[in-house]
Amino acid sequence: MHNLTIAELVKGLQNKTFSSQELTQQTLDRIHAVDPTFNSFISVSDERALQQAKAADALLAKGDAPTLCGVPIAQKDIFCTNGTLTTCGSKMLHNFVPPYDATVVDNYNAAGAVMVGKTNMDEFAMGSSNETSFFGSVKNPWDTNCVPGGSSGGSAAAVAAQLVAGATATDTGGSIRQPAALCGITGLKPTYGRVSRWGMIAFASSLDQAGTMTRTAEDAAIMLQTMASYDSKDSTCVDHPIDDYRASLNNSIEGLTIGLPKEYFGEGLDPGTQARVEEAIKQFESMGAKVKEISLPHSSLSVPAYYVIAPAECSANLSRFDGVRYGHRCENPADLEDLYKRSRGEGFGDEVKRRILVGAYALSAGYYDAYYNKAQKVRRLIKQDFVDAFKDVDVIMGPTSPTPAFEFGSKSDDPIAMYLEDIYTIATNLAGLPGMSIPCGLVGDKPVGLQLIGNYFNEAKLLNVAHQFQQATHFHTLAPQFLKGDK
């Protein structure tokens, strides 16, 4: 059953081919048996899952079950889950059990989904390799010597290893799309404000957005339909009509105009990755799409602007972890200052500390204008590049990440090399646009992702374009070696 997609699981449950309790038990057994190799889960919630499955079976028996009724999914461990450990990949929250569910989790509860566990991630979602998790790195199911990408590497690996058909994830600068690319699956980051951030532990509030990890675009449409909602508890959540994402999946893409930014095909792009992306574009042309070269002239400024804005916002957001109210507290503090210093010193890992230091510096008096304000002005220019480009094209395409999955340790001592992993994804977050990564082939035995960037709130178009590609190609059905012959 583990190789079924969400759409197939929904059908199987509704036709009573299997019950949610059977499916959930099998899913949990498989996670316990297989995941020790990959470490994609921080916690597995057997009890909560089996209770939800039982309730789902009762609803399914009545015949008026909601969309995802009985389907096992995983939540990234950045979402607060009532009564269930929520760590954000950090020692700081190693013992944090929230008293409420995030809005995203609530939406899945309302759709009848079964939460089987919480997925591993870079600490506070800072990273591109999952090597910064307090709970150990996640191994890429395609090659366990390689990283799965980050920060949502646990969600990506869990879906690639077919432990779950779908998982939630978050993307501040590429954390859905880059791990989806490195693990050979489909990742969707919606428009900023499409999905509520309430109860999602904040990294950089003006960039963070929740989305989906699945094997197919059709499943991403089903999950986004569940997650997208207007939420008055998140003042940045936008009250914008929600499309029926599945309804337009089969629309023809004849006449679609694809923009190819010349800045996304230059120096630093692995030749094999470039070849797979170009073949994918040719495939679209053979399906009736037109290609237009475009320019996003401020692209080279996106990584530097992001590494001022994101740390600045993180230094403010992470000031709440003080050892007083929840989370890690040092032993025997001498006084209040000692409590703050040692709790934070012991609770945060090196990358998080680096970001807090950079952010506090960029925001400090005398430097604010030189760094933070300047970065915000650059951000405006980056956004304008996209607004101009979308006057002439429907979708922008390019590589998701400059290289396929890399080996553990190969970039962890070089922050700049690690930061450049997101060179093609960060601008989308700075502009607030939706983006996707879909599998488009292999380099050697490692998957490559094609990035699709859409206009504001046009997730339906992205999903349609991705689905049409997946109807015509088999790349999304390729699976890691260890799954061969495993039914």
Beta strand 186-189 pairing with 114-119: unpaired
The correct pick among 141, 174, 347, 399 for binding ligand GLN (CB under 6 A) is 174
The correct pick among 28, 126, 308, 393 for binding ligand GLN (CB under 6 A) is 126
C-alpha angle 15-19-25 in degrees, rounded to nearest 5: 150
* Cβ-based burial of 108 (10 A; exposed 0-12, middle 13-18, buried ≥19): buried
Q: How far, in Å, CA of 479 to CA of 183, rounded?
A: 9
Q: Mention every residue, 6+ apart, whose C-beta is less than 8 A from residue 470.
A: 186, 216, 217, 218, 438, 476
Amino acid making up residue 190 = P
Smallest distance from ligand GLN to CB 151, Å: 4
Q: How far, in Å, CA of 111 to CA of 170, rounded?
A: 20
Query: Does residue number 448 form part of the binding site for ligand GLN (CB under 6 A)?
Result: no
Query: Does residue number 231 form part of the binding site for ligand GLN (CB under 6 A)?
Result: no
Q: How far, in Å, CA of 24 to CA of 26, rounded?
A: 5
Query: Does residue number 39 form part of the binding site for ligand GLN (CB under 6 A)?
Result: no
Q: How far, in Å, CA of 15 to CA of 99, rounded?
A: 36
Query: Does residue number 343 form part of the binding site for ligand GLN (CB under 6 A)?
Result: no
Query: Does residue number 422 form part of the binding site for ligand GLN (CB under 6 A)?
Result: yes
Task: Choose the binding region for ligand GLN from 46-54, 168-176, 274-282, 393-401 (rule: CB under 6 A).
Answer: 168-176
Backbone angles phi, psi at 169, to 5 degrees: -160, 175
Query: Does residue number 77 form part of the binding site for ligand GLN (CB under 6 A)?
Result: no
Query: Does residue number 463 form part of the binding site for ligand GLN (CB under 6 A)?
Result: no
The correct pick among 172, 225, 273, 437 for binding ligand GLN (CB under 6 A) is 172
Task: Choose the binding region for ligand GLN from 3-11, 126-134, 251-259, 449-457 (rule: CB under 6 A).
Answer: 126-134
For ligand GLN, the binding residues in 239-278 under the rule CB under 6 A are none
DSSP SS3 for 227: helix
Smallest distance from ligand GLN to CB 280, Å: 23
For ligand GLN, the binding residues in 199-228 under the rule CB under 6 A are 203
Length of the chain: 487
Helix 350-363 to helix 302-317 angle (10° resolution) is 100
The correct pick among 166, 173, 179, 211 for binding ligand GLN (CB under 6 A) is 173
Report the residue number, 293 or 413, with the smaller CB distance to ligand GLN. Answer: 413
Q: How far, in Å, CA of 77 to CA of 124, rounded?
A: 9
Cβ–Cβ < 8 Å for 466, 338: no
> Which residues belong to the active site?
76, 151, 175
Q: How far, in Å, CA of 109 to CA of 113, rounded?
A: 6
Torsion on CA atoms 320, 323, 327, 331, rounded to nearest 10: 160
Size of the residue set binding ligand GLN (CB under 6 A): 13
Q: How far, in Å, CA of 141 to CA of 252, rounded?
A: 34
Query: Does residue number 190 form part of the binding site for ligand GLN (CB under 6 A)?
Result: no
Cβ-proximal residue to ligand GLN, closest one: 175
The correct pick among 12, 98, 127, 190 for binding ligand GLN (CB under 6 A) is 127
Smallest distance from ligand GLN to CB 417, Å: 12
Query: Does residue number 280 form part of the binding site for ligand GLN (CB under 6 A)?
Result: no
Query: Does residue number 398 form part of the binding site for ligand GLN (CB under 6 A)?
Result: no
The correct pick among 27, 128, 191, 299 for binding ligand GLN (CB under 6 A) is 128
For ligand GLN, the binding residues in 292-331 under the rule CB under 6 A are 310
Q: Contact residues for ligand GLN (CB under 6 A)?
A: 125-128, 151, 171-175, 203, 310, 422
